[in-house]
Structure 1
Amino acid sequence: MASWVGFRVDAAATLGGGHVMRCLTLARTFRSLAHHCVFLCSEETIEVIPDDLWDGFDVRTVSAGLPAETEERFDLLVFDHYGLSAPDERDWRNRAGTLMVIDDLADRPHDCDLLLDQTYGVRAADYEALLPDGCRLLLGSHYALLREEFATHRQASLERRLSDPAGGRVLVSLGMTDVSGIAGRVCNLLTAIGGLQRVDVVLGHKAPSYGRIQEICALDARFQLHSDVRNMAELMLLADVGIGAGGTTTWERCAMGLPSLVVVVADNQIKIADLMNKAGAIGLLGDARTDTDQHLSDQLTRFLSDTERLRAFGRKSADLCDGAGARRVVDDVLQLVAARERANGYV
């Protein structure tokens, strides 16, 4: 039987669009199984996320933290929002049969029936005092929410990397909203590094660095700007190394076995970047908020000149995520929803 699934999620210029993008991935998987999905978002979210990226989903604006101005009942309501916690989630209890939370901070209590944290190295003990009894946990990068295209292109990407890198093709993707203009800073540094054959830059057209990247592309034929792309897996397949932030695209690069150099741009990225760096799965360039351009430049030069180390990053990261996490999550969630509905006498 088809279910109604709601997503309470926001994006912002300072927050980025990662929360919305991973919820869209989950929604597409639900929709492929004939379930109806509704997004409940702030007005700023509608401004930040381009219309075409909503993929035809039903999107409604709501006041921050408050139930939607509708009496509609959801079979499942998903929260992916750092600004909401147990009291806010509890307000929605009479609107949904099952409540699910997506989190990666483990820094506040939740009132939910299921919690997903796709962070590498996360433990059940991290949430022990934050969840109600009986809450089901889906933990680790095995459950990373990636679009189907990454699983589709994964094998070809891994096979390509069995040989030495073809040489010098870099993919720069530092977040849709380009927090603090980090994309412009990184590309400025790359212009001075020799040996690069091509630099593909993925950036939202509203990003602060957009104009600067256009200028770089006009002056340096190696640089190519891609705005609001829908073929990220193909770009990763062609790249020899990826430069990105420590957010959602971390798992995309892992699924493709793409050697990654990571710049931290937000507090919630520090832990995952540190764990993956210690595991030898990424090269950590530094923190964009505190490290100087000289430090970032030195790190870029050091990593980009070490081909064997880059290949090792790719091999290790490919073991952490296979790109099939979204379907695993949906299968587990639907089983829980069905069980709760039977227990409550709805079916």
Structure 2
Amino acid sequence: MFVFCIESSHTRGMGHLFRSLTLAAELRARGRPVRFLANDHPNSLKIIRERGFDVGLYDLASVTGWENSFLEPAAAAPVWINDRLDTQRSHSEAIKRLGVRLVTFDDRGDGAELADINICALMFEKTEYLKGKDVRLGLEYMILNPEIAAFRRLRQSLASILVTLGGADTYGVTARVAKWLRDKPFAVTIVTGPSFQHMAELEEVISAASPGRFTLLNQVPSLAAEMHRHDLAITGGGITPFEACAAGLPCVVIANEPFEIPVGHALEKLGAAFFAGHHSAFDLGILETAIPIRAMSEIAMTKVGLGGVGRVADLLERLAA
């Protein structure tokens, strides 16, 4: 049994949820039993159930003391997977007392030291301080939607921009980006996610633009399919820019959280993206220059692959053996 314990909300964002769903789908396809634990966030719970997974609720305010109620006594070699960022030590100790294997993602909490595996594909600075019995670094462990494989293509020039700033866009960056793009000579499509709460501000910006200036889409059936239509994406600093790059779609990254700043710098150094800064003071001036779209698209597809979900699933199966 693989138990995914996630945190997903407007404040936290939904990247943890979608990463875990991708990995859980791979394990399910291998015949492995999977269940989810999540905080009480209706949109997230709805998505988990729509994907066909069982989900239980845990209380975000309770650090520990509840873990054993979500484990089946007869489950063979259970593996507990935390995708909630920093794990507290008391929670890790509770998991280990139950004789359960513990896996964490991008974890700098004091409980990470007790993790059997700490998968840190999104960590690009101070990695020497990461804890865990087995710390896995590098883009080869990046869990990306395998659906992207059907939508990869080499971009040639910049004509169309996609703006997609996460399932929640906690700080309302989308409206500010739209305002900046309002008078620029690009076709712009904006995709909002299931927990987007800034529609009034966004619609005010769009209504002030010339008719047809923006295409606004909410909760598209396939972000990978939508990405295929565009030549550049403006994204946050989580999983999305890596999914875009794997599809050959160069990015401009805006960091929603401080820990996303190193992600933006890493993708820029890779040559697949530009980093526009933290959301509090981002700069999209790069869009006023000649952007080498073809070269960036080639680099993106070469450097960011889709094998991470299989590699991580292999690690988890070996851990459960």
Q: Which TM-score band applies after superposition, normalised by the shorter structure?
A: 0.7 to 0.9
Structure 1 runs of 4+ aligned residues shifted over 6 Å read none
- Give 3-state SS (helix, strand or coil) of 1:49's partner: helix
Q: Deviation of residue 50 (structure 1)?
A: 6.2
- Give 3-state SS (helix, strand or coil) of 1:307's partner: coil
Q: Deviation of residue 99 (structure 1)?
A: 1.1
- State the Cα RMSD in Å: 2.3
TM-aligned CA distance change 1:71 to 1:174, over 3 Å: closer
| 1:343 corresponds to | none
Q: Which amino acid aligns with 2:54?
A: D
Q: 1:33 aligns with which of 21, 30, 39?
A: 30
Percentage of identical aligned residues: 25
1:118 matched to 2:121: yes
Q: Which amino acid aligns with 2:193?
A: G
| 1:148 corresponds to | 146
Matches within 5 A, 1:295-310: 296=282, 299-308=283-292, 310=293
| 1:208 corresponds to | 197
Q: Which amino acid aligns with 1:211?
A: A
| 1:246 corresponds to | 237
Unaligned runs of 5+ in 2: none
Q: Distance in 2 between matches of 1:205 and 1:146?
A: 19
What TM-score does the superposition give when structure 1 sets the normalisation length?
0.81
- On the 8 A contact 1:120/1:275 being kept in 2, the answer is no
Q: Deviation of residue 185 (structure 1)?
A: 0.7
Q: Deviations over 1:140-172 (max 9, x none)?
A: 111111111113323xx13xx2xx22x421110
Unaligned runs of 5+ in 1: 339-347
1:319 matched to 2:302: yes
Q: Distance in 2 between matches of 1:62 and 1:107?
A: 19
The number of residue pairs the alignment matches comes to: 310
TM-aligned CA distance change 1:107 to 1:98, over 3 Å: closer
| 1:342 corresponds to | none
- Give 3-state SS (helix, strand or coil) of 1:92's partner: helix
Q: Deviation of residue 280 (structure 1)?
A: 2.8
Q: Deviation of residue 312 (structure 1)?
A: 3.1
- On the 8 A contact 2:87/2:108 being kept in 1, the answer is no
Q: Deviation of residue 96 (structure 1)?
A: 5.2
Q: Deviations over 1:223-244 (max 9, x none)?
A: 1222222311111111110000
TM-aligned CA distance change 1:96 to 1:304, over 3 Å: farther
Q: Which amino acid aligns with 2:46?
A: D
- Give 3-state SS (helix, strand or coil) of 2:202's partner: helix
What TM-score does the superposition give when structure 2 sets the normalisation length?
0.88
Q: Deviation of residue 176 (structure 1)?
A: 0.9
